[in-house]
Amino acid sequence: MRRAEVTRAHYPGTRVPDVRGPGYPGGMCASYGLDPRFSDAELLAEQDAALLEGLRSWAAENAGETLRPTGRIARNLNPLVVPDGAGAALQSAWWGHLVGGAPARYPSINTRSERLRERSGALRRRAIVPATAWFERRASDRTWHEFGLGDGVLFGMAAVVQNGRTDDGAEFTCYSIVMRDAPARLAGVHDRMPVLVPAAFAGDWLHSAQGPDTLEEALRAAAGLDDRVTATERPDDKGEPDRLF
């Protein structure tokens, strides 16, 4: 595996907007974390030092800030693990779809696994989102929770990928995180969760043939991590840059 160039790119403009307004659909992951002090044991079965170094460098420069959907004005680009020959590489990518030169008006930062069952063509291009946490708010009391596989453990979330272009002609790789029903023990906090990709299944998710079997195998593999997922209450979903230094 080789390392592709990954930069923490922010184009001139204001901060990235929080897309979760009152009308935003429920059951969605709209923010996640990437701590540079991560353990590297859960992302890929065969760890690549250069890839992990690039990811850690990006996370260190990001300094604990929460990763959010890419905005029209502030074009934050997030690191994505993509296929590279028989291996994997890092690429800077746009979180959400681009339609007609602008961010999609429909919810596109997440894709329901049920929808992929009906439209398996969307599975043609797949990637893995590296993270150390994702954040959700419990509907009953609007309390934020941080989900993960343990403090600082690096893991992967399944994503589907397509090309996009902004109105200034710039081309981007766009990704959408695949979501599934949460297991019963977590559903009281949030009823949906990302499809997590165990390290042993990462190569299959990146490289196996397109089709419904790939999705079903991914869902079975993700269920094997359910007992390890923790949910910790916290005041918000904002990053904690001060605690890194």
The domain that contains 55 carries what CATH number?
Answer: 3.90.1680.10
Kindly tell me if the per-residue pLDDT of 86 is higher than 60.
Answer: yes
Question: According to the model, what pLDDT value does residue 240 have?
Answer: 62
Domain limits for position 187: 32-238
For residue 4, being part of any structural domain is answered with: no
Q: pTM to 2 decimals?
A: 0.89
**125: pLDDT confidence band, cut at 50, 70 and 90?**
very high
- What total number of domains does the chain contain? 1
Question: According to the model, what pLDDT value does residue 41 have?
Answer: 80
For residue 166, being part of any structural domain is answered with: yes
Question: According to the model, what pLDDT value does residue 206 have?
Answer: 96
Give per-residue pLDDT as tens, 144-203: 999 999 998 999 999 999 999 999 999 999 999 999 999 999 999 999 999 999 999 999
For residue 15, being part of any structural domain is answered with: no
CB-based burial, 152-189: b 16+ in 10 Å, e otherwise: ebbbbbbbbbeebebeeeeebbbbbbbbbebeeebeeb
Question: Could you give the percent of the chain with pLDDT greater than 90?
Answer: 69
For residue 70, being part of any structural domain is answered with: yes
Distance between CA atoms of residues 120 and 115, nearest Å? 8
For residue 136, being part of any structural domain is answered with: yes
Q: What is the average pLDDT value for the chain, to the nearest integer?
A: 86
Radius of gyration of the chain (CA): 17
**7: pLDDT confidence band, cut at 50, 70 and 90?**
low
Question: According to the model, what pLDDT value does residue 17 have?
Answer: 37
Closest residue by Cα to residue 14 from 59, 66, 76, 57: 76
**29: pLDDT confidence band, cut at 50, 70 and 90?**
confident
For residue 197, being part of any structural domain is answered with: yes
Helices (H), the chain: 49-62, 113-118, 184-187, 202-207, 212-223
Question: According to the model, what pLDDT value does residue 14 have?
Answer: 31
Q: What would the two tokens of residue 47 be?
A: 């760890």
3-state helix, strand, coil in the chain (%, to 5): 25, 30, 45
For residue 8, being part of any structural domain is answered with: no
For residue 23, being part of any structural domain is answered with: no
Kindly tell me if the per-residue pLDDT of 241 is higher than 70.
Answer: no
